[in-house]
Every structure is written in structure tokens, then in C-alpha cells.
Structure 1
Amino acid sequence: MIEVNGLNKAYQTQKVVDQVSFQLKGAGVTAIIGPNGAGKSTLLGLISRLQHPDQGWVRVDELDVHHCAGDRLAQTLAILRQENQISTRLTVKDLVSFGRYPYSKGRINEQDLYKIEQALVFLDLTDLRHRYLDELSGGQRQRAYIAMVLCQDTRYLLLDEPLNNLDMKHAVGIMKLLRRAADEMGKQVVLVLHDINFAATYADCILAMKEGQLVYMGSPEVVITPEIMLDLYDLEMTIQQVRGKPVAFYYS
């Protein structure tokens, strides 16, 4: 379980996360949505210890995120940041193997090799294992980064805007893989999304933020409504049910 209590984060006088509290239990996909500047990425950074809160605390399976050993946290929670830049020329397999560092400290054993292979198969990267990252398409490269965090073998996966700069086909493919990770591997996947239709289609729970505050939380059916979307984005929408999921059509 992820427990967040009273999180505050400010830069100078501007609060970017303001008294945020919630709990996420069990496996599933949770999408954090909201307009630009709502505090979504900062919240994810606070949960993963990439940033330190001014007030409040985060616990993951009773582990105090901001006061525990780094190795223990890395075996519990994996984070994929929005910008991933590696200057060294690496193959896909080299990159994925980085996910085993919290366990192997660079000395890969048979268990590590098994986890690396499992991640390559799950992300459909076996034929690309020896290709260099700079030789891949954007969608292939993003799958390689997700394979790396999956290879870390944590119960919790946090991803900051993993669909950025991807076309529709690759974005759908990534979301289907993350949905499978939750359903087949029992992962709790928490990700920041801009596209509310992807959130509605693939998420079990939606956290909606505005001006640093968590203003709505619930299932897509509860959160993706015309009234809430107008409040969040100041944009009128019509919401229709398509195959049992709410889909937003914009107009203004």
C-alpha cells in the first residue's frame, strides 16, 4: 500500500503540492491527471524520494520512503522519470540490466539474468536486445526504459508521463503493457498522464490535481464527468460511455 499524508512542497513562496493525502491499496493502475502546473510530476517525485517534502510523509508497505536505506527502497519501488538521457552508448540488454543493480551491485548472477530475460520478453524486446538505444524508434526506446524498471522487480512502478512524444500506436501499446503488468504481475502502477481518455480507458483509479491540491479521487466513472473536467481544465466536454468506459469529446 502507498500511503501519502499531508504532503507539502513549495518553491520560494509558491506551493506546488498542497496538503495532499491519499492511500492506494493492492495492484492496479492509478493515473494522476490535471492541467499543466497542477503539481503532478512533483507529487510523483515526492512519492519516489526524488524530491523531499517540506511537510508530510510517504509510506510504501510500511516503509518510510524518506528515511529508509536506498537499497531497500529500490527493491520496493521503481521510478521512470520524464526525461531519460544516457550519454553512454548502450544496448537494450545493457540498459535493462541496470534494473538489477539494487540486488547485484553490478555482479550479475543467474537470478538477475532470468529477470532480465523476463523483462525483455514481456516488453517484446528479445529481437532488439543487442541494438543500441540510439538506433531505436521513440516507442522502442520507451519500451526499453520500461523494461529496465520492470526488471527492478518491485511491487510499485511510478512513471512520469511515459507517453510523451509517442504516436497513438506506440502510446496504446505502452498502456496495454502497463495494464498487463498490473493484471498479470500484481504491480501497482502509478503514472502521470495528460490524455484523460487513456486515463479513463486503462486506469482503475484517477487522482485529479489542480493548483497543487488533490481535488478529486475515484474510478474513471466517478472522475471523468463533464462537471469535473470543466472544473479541472476550464474546458467544456461531453462524456459518453464507449465499451463501458467514459470517453471525453472536447468542445468550446
Structure 2
Amino acid sequence: MWKRVFREAIARQPWSTITSKRWSSTSPTSISAAVDTLLLRSLKEHYLQVSKMNPPPKVNPPPAFSIIKGALDGNGPVLIRTYGNEEIKLSIMRMAYIAPGDGESDGNDEDVNQFFLHVDVSKPGQDKSLHFLCGLYTDALGIHSVSLRPKLDGADFLEDTTTYSGPHFVELDERMRDAFHRFIEERGVNENLFDFLQAWLYVKEHRGLMRWFKTVGTYINENRPAKNLNIFIKGSHKKIHLQAKNRQRCVTSCWYIYLSCVA
């Protein structure tokens, strides 16, 4: 999805105008200033294009789950719930981040319909938790592995690669596989999570992309005259104010209302 936005925008950029012949008689300082200006203009155009993208429909998480405060700004769990004396946390990641394709399937949006779902089941007084790595799709959820791990917090939720992750799930007895599937289904972990997690990840990526354009533009623009600043942002969680060439536009920010949460 984001790849298409970049491809379409890059196709419109005048990169072919930057040739060695054009700059052969120009001072290094002038070349640097011209390249910075061109890059800032490109960043601004991308920023404005992404800001116009329509948000997903309003989606709420399943009733038993709550959104973890600050999840949009971190890399840890997204949803939490209790089940008896257990605490269950869910974290989501696109499969494309782990096993990127060759880009040929981008037009089919397959990457937005395939997720890795990390399910962490912990109990009070226990120093370990039961961890499920699952594949989440629009109409199904499948378990890839089951392991017992030390309790992890925050970003470490996804980064423990040293612990034995257990046997390949397909190698387990069929009755055991069915029992593990029933175990997580009883705790509300199923394909019904897909719509919310898809919308949540879309919002998170959009927010991160907007922030990236802003921070890169600000870095490049450091020590340049203020009049050359093409992008700067003001506001709160409600609005992003864009100022470009003395013209101001307002864009609804972060789409928190579509997820019924406040980060």
C-alpha cells in the first residue's frame, strides 16, 4: 500500500534534471543548497499526499479486549484482557516485514491481509508465560509455534530469539494441535480480531510515516534560512497544521477516533 504511494510520487519527481553536466560549473555550496531544496520539496509533496489518504472505517476491538495505552507509540503489545487469573496480551506484525516479497504482489494488497499475531498468556506469581506465534488472516487463525518463555515487557515482547520455541506445530499430534487451538479460542483469540488489528496497524503506519517525513525534513532544514522551511507541524492529537508557502491546511490527525482510543 505505502509502496504504491511512493512509486506514484517518485514517478513525478524531476530527478532526471540533476545531471553532472548541469552542475559542472556550479559551486559545491550552491549544489548542496539546490539538492536540499529539491529534497525538501519532495518530502513536502509526499507528506501532503499521505495526509490526504482516507482513514479506515471505525473499528472497535472485541469487547473482552482493551487497547494498551501508548501502544501506537511503541513496538509492544496492542491489546490486553484477563481470563480468570490469566493476563493475555496481543501484539501484531505484518508478515511482509519478516518475509518481504519481490513487490510484484503489491497491487493485490496481499500484505495487508496477512499478519503475525503474538499471543502471551501469563499468570500471577509465575516468571514465565505461554507464548503463541500465530498467522492471522481475514477468515482464519493458525498457530505456528507454542513456547514457554520468561515474561517479557514492551518491545522485548517480540525480540526474544534465544529461547527454544518448541517443536514445529505441524509435527505435534493432531489432537494436541486441536487442543491448543481450542485453548486460545476460549480466550477470544480468533479471526474476529482481524478487522480491528488491520485498522490499528494502518493508523500506526500512517502516523509513523507522517512523523518520518517531518523529522527528516526538519533535520535537512537545520541551519537553513527559516523562509526555506517547507514542512512544519503544530497542534495536538486533534489536528496537524501544515504550512507551505504561506498557506495553511488542516488535516485530521492520527485517526484516534476510528479506533476509539486515546494514545
TM-score when scaled to structure 2?
0.22
Q: Higher strand share goes to which structure?
A: 1
Q: Highest CA radius of gyration, 1 or 2?
A: 2
Q: Which has the higher contact order (CA 8 A, sep 6+)?
A: 1
